[in-house]
Amino acid sequence: MSATVDAKALKAWLHDGREIALLDFREHGQYGESHLFFGVPLPFSRLEADLPRLVPRRGTRVVVYDDGALGVAERAAARMAEAGYTDVRVLEEGTRGWRRAGFALFAGVNVPSKAFGELIEHERHTPRVSAAELAAMQRAGDDLIVIDGRPLTEFRKMSIPGAVCCPNGELAYRIHAMVPDAGTRIVVNCAGRTRSIVGAQTLIDLGIPNPVFALENGTQGWYLSDFPLEHDARRAYPAIAVSDEQLAAPRTRARALAERHGVRFAGDAEIEKDLSDAARTVYLLDVRTQEEYAAGTLPGAVHAPGGQLLQATDQWVAVRNARIVVFDGEGVRAPVVASWLVRMGHDACVLERGTSSAVRARRESIPLPDVPAVSVDALVTAIGTGEVAVVDVRPSNRQPPGVSRG
């Protein structure tokens, strides 16, 4: 039997300032219906694949839960113990016990990040425009640009007509090339609210001279206002190299913003010391684009594009009160991301050097390995000769009828 903790004790642990990971091992649909505010979704079917990344230190204090009846939490705790995790407890009665103790449960995903977005708008009074106001500006031919702060994959599914894709993590780095005229009005949108607010407020906090607004309720608000959405659009920020001369002003602004919020800048030696501390969890996150990361990153680094890291922090960081080290290659993106992480309550710092020298000196970087592919014909032949075994790693509820786990 796994060790347990009751709801009231867990409530105290979540606010005692020590490291703790709170993991929900139900599948995503079950998690989305009702979960603890700081609960991090880690479906049992993804335990082996994602646990080492989400909770890298095996001595971390961990509490796992389900709805109190599934038995998944107990199985997960046992599996974690087998993997060498030494301080794992099961929440007594899961979400049912939490509610019975008088504590709130939440629906949806990425709830802490989304709640933070609402707090930003409330405290900073981030300027916004409605879908009808934006449509009127476009019809009038106003000098404006609509910037979609989501990744390109989301942008292509549905977008505001005429919008240009620039994920929030790239805004500070790319905005000067995208909007050279200080008189151009900038409207930042996403699918709903959070990334619109964060993107617009990022530009405002950086001191961009342009008038900046968030699109109220994003593409959802646009669609619900009976305006047509565009599909499979491919307009994106210009993917051109930015010279050191062009980066001078953005670097200054980004560092000033980070320092204003108490972000620490650390060199290689200090970060190496952090990473070697067996009593502390440290996440080393590369906030650049996927293409830059694939070309070469630092040993042990995980790719976490800046905009998505802020929108869905729990997809990369499961340990509360851990240290988050972010880096880029130019000194603009990482300080901006770190400034938001600190405001969200995280212990975040910036690796001073970034990856510039490491990527140039390939001996210091780790290219991502090529994953070999195999054709269906070759696979069938190999199975017939007994040379290969095939394992379906999907959850059983996602397999077609007649497909076995083997």
**SS3 readout for the chain:** CCCEECHHHHHHHCCCCCCEEEEECCCHHHHHHCECCCCEECCHHHHHHHHHHHCCCCCCCEEEECCCCCCHHHHHHHHHHHCCCCCEEEECCHHHHHHHCCCCCECCCCHHHHHHHHHHHHHHCCCEECHHHHHHHHHHCCCEEEEECCCHHHHHHCECCCCEECCHHHHHHHHHHHCCCCCCEEEEECCCCHHHHHHHHHHHHCCCCCCEEEECCHHHHHHHCCCCCECCCCCECCCCCCCHHHHHHHHHHHHHHHHHCCCEEECHHHHHHHHCCCCCCEEEEECCCHHHHHHCECCCCEECCHHHHHHCHHHCCCEECCEEEEECCCCCHHHHHHHHHHHCCCEEEEECCCCHHHHHCHHHCECCCCCCCCCHHHHHHHHHCCCCCCCCCCCHHHCCCCCCCC
Q: Are residues 192 and 285 in the same domain?
A: no
pTM for this entry: 0.86
Averaged pLDDT, 218-246: 93
In a domain, 68, yes or no: yes
Q: Are residues 83 and 124 in the same domain?
A: no
Mean pLDDT of the chain: 89
In a domain, 391, yes or no: no
Q: Are 156 and 232 in contact (CB under 8 A)?
A: yes
- Of 224, 257, 287, which residue constitutes the final position of a domain? 224
Q: Are residues 249 and 360 in the same domain?
A: yes
Q: Are residues 213 and 248 in the same domain?
A: no
Give the pLDDT confidence score for residue 385 in this predicted structure: 54
In a domain, 331, yes or no: yes
Mutual angle of helices 244-260 and 333-343, in 10-degree steps: 10
Give the pLDDT confidence score for residue 386 in this predicted structure: 52
In a domain, 324, yes or no: yes
Whether the predicted pLDDT of 380 surpasses 90: no
Q: Are residues 66 and 87 in the same domain?
A: yes
- Of 41, 76, 109, which residue constitutes the final position of a domain? 109
Give the pLDDT confidence score for residue 244 in this predicted structure: 85
- Of 58, 74, 109, which residue constitutes the final position of a domain? 109
Whether the predicted pLDDT of 354 surpasses 80: no
For residue 67, what are the domain limits? 4-109
Of 78-87, 245-254, 373-382, the least confident? 373-382
Give the pLDDT confidence score for residue 336 in this predicted structure: 98
Output 141 or 360, whichever has higher pLDDT: 141
Q: Are residues 21 and 123 in the same domain?
A: no
Q: Are residues 76 and 139 in the same domain?
A: no
User: Residue 258 maps to which CATH number?
Assistant: 3.40.250.10
Q: Are residues 216 and 254 in the same domain?
A: no
As a whole-number percent, the residues of the chain with pLDDT over 90 amount to 82
Residue 279 confidence class, pLDDT cut points 50, 70, 90: very high
How many domains are there within the chain? 3
